[in-house]
Amino acid sequence: MQPVRTLRVVVAGALTVGIVGGCSGTPEPQPTPTPTVEPTVTASPEPEPEPTPDPWISMIATAGSDSIEVFAAPGDTEPHRTVTAAEAVSLPERIPMTFLVDEQREGWVEVYLPVRPNGSSGWVRAEDVTLATTDFRVEVRLDEHRLLLYRADEVVLDVPVGVGREEVPTPGGIYYIKELLQPPEPGGVYGAYAYGLSGFSPVLESFAGGQGVIGIHGTNEPELVGTDVSHGCIRLVDADITRMVEEFGLPLGTPVEILA
């Protein structure tokens, strides 16, 4: 995110100039002093303070089409790569490409990318995206098998989760929600809902016909929540994932930090 710059305001003080005369005995005639013009001092204008970014607000960028050019640096004329909806989300005809914003500059936005390797980022033209904000964020503590949902600085949900087994671990890092899916059949392995994240398994190139995407989803084995049980995904009991979707309504682009 953009660093916060601290402004130091320098105020000019007023300068007073005077003449002091002293004499003793009979004064000798003195020449008429030349009037002294006191200098006019103008205070330096105080700079307008820049707004301090809200530390609890995250910026979200949504692509305006089904592909977007990504640049290595702001101002580049040739894209480093192009990301398409077909590679970014499961249902490109229904789910918009959404990104978590890392930094903004005039005319440019740096975003996290839902591609391998994990943690990839790049710059996109500001005119190619629509910006929005959210004060939600998700924190997953792997060692504690806990998921915390924050709204600003308040924890609004703190629940147990199942995480990846040792041989197929859940990767740590900063990710974001890129899609929300509702399995067609209730009671299946993904439970009531599944959030797809922007990260991937560090050991599986593909899984169950997919790309090895890490997700947060429900389960039909609630008794295993709280253990190392999955192929890298984060499992919740259905009641908890349903609250995240239906009660809190997390938007696409919501940041997810996985603490390994």
In this predicted model, what pLDDT tens digit does every residue of 38-49 receive, in sequence order? 544 444 455 555
Averaged pLDDT, 215-235: 98
pLDDT band at 206 (very low <50, low <70, confident <90, very high): confident
CATH 2.30.30.40 residue ranges for the chain:
58-134
Average pLDDT, the chain: 85
Q: pLDDT (tens digit, 9 = 90+) per residue, 105-138? A: 999 999 999 999 999 999 999 999 999 999 999 9
CA atoms within 13 A on the CB side of 154: 3
CA torsion angle for 83, 80, 105, 117 (degrees, to 10)?
A: 60
Instruction: Measure the CA–CA gap between 214 and 226, rounded to whole angstroms.
Output: 17
- Secondary-structure class of domain 58-134 per CATH: mainly beta
Which residues fall within 8 angstroms of residue 242, CB to CB, at 6 or more apart? 192, 193, 218
Instruction: Measure the CA–CA gap between 60 and 64, rounded to whole angstroms.
Output: 13
Name the H helices within 53-192: 85-88
Question: Residue 47 has what pLDDT?
Answer: 54
CA angle 56, 90, 188 (to 5 degrees): 95
- Secondary-structure class of domain 136-259 per CATH: mainly beta
pLDDT of residue 12 exceeding 60: no
Instruction: Measure the CA–CA gap between 138 and 89, rounded to whole angstroms.
Output: 20
Sign of CA dihedral 222, 226, 232, 235: positive
CATH 2.40.440.10 residue ranges for the chain:
136-259
